[in-house]
Amino acid sequence: MQNILVNEHEKRPLLQMRGIVKEFPGVRALDRVDLTVRAGTVHALMGENGAGKSTLMKCLFGIYEKDAGEILFEGEPVEFKNPRHALDKGVAMVHQELNQALKRSVMDNIWLGRYPTRFGFTSERQMEQKTRDVFKDLGLSIDPKRIMGTMSVAQRQMAEIAKAVSYNARIIVLDEPTSSLTEEEVGHLFRIIRTLRERGCGIIYISHKMEEILQISDEITVMRDGTHVITEPAANMTMEKIIRLMVGRELSNRFPPKISTPGETIFETRGLTSRYAKVKDVSIEVRKGEIVGLAGLAGAGRSELLENIFGISARESGELYLGGKRIYNRTPREAIRNGFAFLTEERRATGIFGILNITENTTITALRKYRRWRLLLSDRARRMDTDKMIGRLAVKTASRDTQIRTLSGGNQQKVILSRWLLTTPSILLLDEPTRGIDVGAKYEIYQLMEELAADGKSILMVSGELPELLGVCHRIYVMSGGEITGVVNAADTTQEEIMTLAAKNV
């Protein structure tokens, strides 16, 4: 990798985007947006979901063709035709929703499309050695031959960052890079970012985590409704100022007041043990109208527990009870019939149907209710329910016919929530429901959760953000090594107590 040490006086503009305009049918997603990234700096790009951050980066990276404006890279005008063209020229992007060949090895994923060759044939030895060199440079301990799909989301995220570095990129875009990382892994990522900054790279850092932004950034640009609001040195910004600029109003509380009062126990697991996943002898109780959190470090078994309850993974032993009656949830179809809904952690991989529109994504789990004369579906009823949900959850979209993949992450999440609400569930299993979502949209989702709880629904949620669990939940179960190591009341516990329980079986 190039090793260009940059001092304060040499932090010249490395990337300049001037007057960028991008329009979709019925929507101007970007309206004359400017962005300047200097060599050897971390430039944070912030804004609510739908503000235009991802659209701007896709225009840079050659995924979208801009309608107006110009892009200068190292002082020269550029027009990247596609992502490969951008990568070859030194611009890399690590997307929030990972798009990897999960059945191939780590090194295959890193060198896909540019395999090292020897005498005209792919050299596995060279590929493995080059991968090890990149990992050593970044301080990563990942086996290059390991199958990508067997790794955690956090490990896959780090491998994707290593891939970007392997291109000797001068500009690296990191879109929500810490959304699946533990505190220790975040610290490691920040060390990598500082190393790249010292070498003269320009890092564009997109995140909704204010504390991280203020810790790692040199400059901050805020966008709102497709426009550039302000660019300031990070030293001049505060969390309150950033939030005000993002949402265009004061947002005094991060969490809505708790209006729900839990009643009797409605759902419980007794000695639940997975056949293959890391879940051992788990017994929990959830009361009617209660929001219960699942805390723990990466690999603790929290997501696996939700998958087992929903019938996605095989059960070795244990029992489920709903309203005092034993149920089985052997498949997701059976779980849905029993009144369960499951919001998965990875929207793109297991949540949305990207090429389908909002109507199809919203109504797909409740098709039975739209059936007319056995084989036909009532499009009118589907459209009416979709419009109702778009209004109820304040989904930002041009119309119900918009492809869901063109929406921001937060609006995609709202559509998936709408899908499950149409099945009228009594138990909602939510895995990282606000992952990669801005502070304003988070509040709206918290508010919806509280309204559902007040209406008698029960929620079991996984979150890697302890302040979120403490602010939203009534009680919190802590997992470590696939086991429950404790349960605490959110109102009278601390982050320190939760972390102690989370590290018990590590």
Query: Is residue 3 included in any domain, yes or no?
Result: no
Looking at residue 150, the DSSP 8-state letter turns out to be G
Instruction: List beta partners, residue 226.
Output: none
Phi/psi region, residue 98 (left: phi>0; alpha: psi -120 to 50; beta: rest), is beta
Helix (H) or strand (E) segment spanning residue 93: strand 91-94
Coil/strand/helix, residue 358: helix
416 and 478 in one domain?
Answer: no
Whether 296 and 200 share a structural domain: no
- Given this model, what pLDDT does residue 249 score? 59
Is residue 395 within 8 A of residue 419, CB to CB? The reply is no
Query: Residue 123, Cβ neighbours under 10 Å: how many?
Result: 14
CA gap 341, 324 in Å, rounded: 19
Residue 347 in domain:
no
Q: Residue 285: what are its φ and ψ, rounded to 5°?
A: -130, 140
In a domain, 131, yes or no: yes
Beta bridge partners of 429: 342, 460
Q: Which of 90, 63, 86 is nearest to 202 (CA)?
A: 90
3-state secondary structure of 137: helix
Strand-pair partners of 242: none
Same domain, 494 and 447: yes
Query: 3-state DSSP: the chain helix, strand, coil percent, rounded to 5?
Result: 35, 25, 35
Query: Are 484 and 413 contained in the same domain?
Result: no
Q: Is residue 431 part of a domain?
A: yes
Residue at a domain's end among 247, 272, 306: 247
Q: Which residues of 279-306 are buried (b: 16+ CB within 10 A; e: fewer)?
A: bbebebbbbbbbbbbbbbbbbbbbbbbb
309 shares its domain with 371: no
Per DSSP, 257 falls in state: P
- For 3, other C-beta atoms within 10 Å of its C-beta total 8
Class of residue 487 by CB neighbours under 10 A (exposed 0-12, middle 13-18, buried 19+)? middle
Number of domains in the chain: 3
Buried b (16+ CB within 10 A) or exposed e, 152-163: ebbbbbbbbbbb
Q: Tokens standing for 11?
A: 């932090």
CB atoms within 10 A of CB 187: 10
Whole-angstrom Cα distance, residue 245 to residue 232?
12
329 with 335: CB under 8 angstroms?
yes
In a domain, residue 346? The reply is no
Which phi and psi (to 5°) does residue 18 adopt?
-125, 125
Q: Which of 95, 17, 22 lies closest to 52, judged by CA?
A: 22
Residue 260: inside a domain: yes
Q: Given this model, what pLDDT does residue 372 score?
A: 83
Identify whether residues 307 and 202 lie together within a single domain: no
User: In terms of DSSP bridges, do strands 458-462 and 291-295 run parallel, antiparallel, or are they unpaired?
Assistant: parallel
Q: Is residue 154 one of the residues assigned to a domain?
A: yes
Q: What angle do CA 355, 356, 357 make, to 5 degrees?
A: 125
Q: What is the CATH number of the domain that holds 463?
A: 3.40.50.300
Q: Are 427 and 265 in contact (CB under 8 A)?
A: no
- Confirm if 196 and 134 have CB atoms less than 8 A apart: no
In 226-307, the DSSP E strands lie at 227-233, 265-274, 282-287, 291-295
Q: Is residue 88 part of a domain?
A: yes
- Cβ burial of 268 (10 Å; 0-12, 13-18, 19+) is middle
Indicate the residue among 208, 229, 247 that finishes a domain: 247
Let me know the angle formed at the C-alpha of 348 by 346 and 350, rounded to the nearest 5 degrees: 60
User: Are 403 and 308 within one domain?
Assistant: no
Structure tokens at 291: 């929001």
Boundary residue ending a domain (390, 424, 458): 424
Q: Please state, in angstroms and rounded to a whole number, the distance separating the CA atoms of residues 452 and 434.
A: 16
Element (H, E) at 466: helix 466-472
Q: Which two tokens mark 221?
A: 């640009």
Q: Which residues contact 391 (CB under 8 A, 6 or more apart)?
A: none
Low-confidence ranges of the chain (pLDDT < 50): 1-6, 8-9
Terminal Cα-to-Cα distance of the chain (whole angstroms): 35
Q: Is the domain of 62 the same as that of 133?
A: yes
Span 207-265, pLDDT tens digits: 878 888 899 999 999 998 889 999 999 999 988 888 888 877 555 577 888 888 899 99
387 and 465 in a common domain: no
Are 138 and 199 spatial neighbours (Cβ–Cβ below 8 Å)? no
Residues 233 and 159 in one domain: yes
Q: Which domain holds residue 484?
A: 253-339+427-506
Which pLDDT does position 4 carry in this prediction? Answer: 42
Whether residue 455 is found in the same domain as residue 501? yes
Q: 281 and 315: one domain?
A: yes
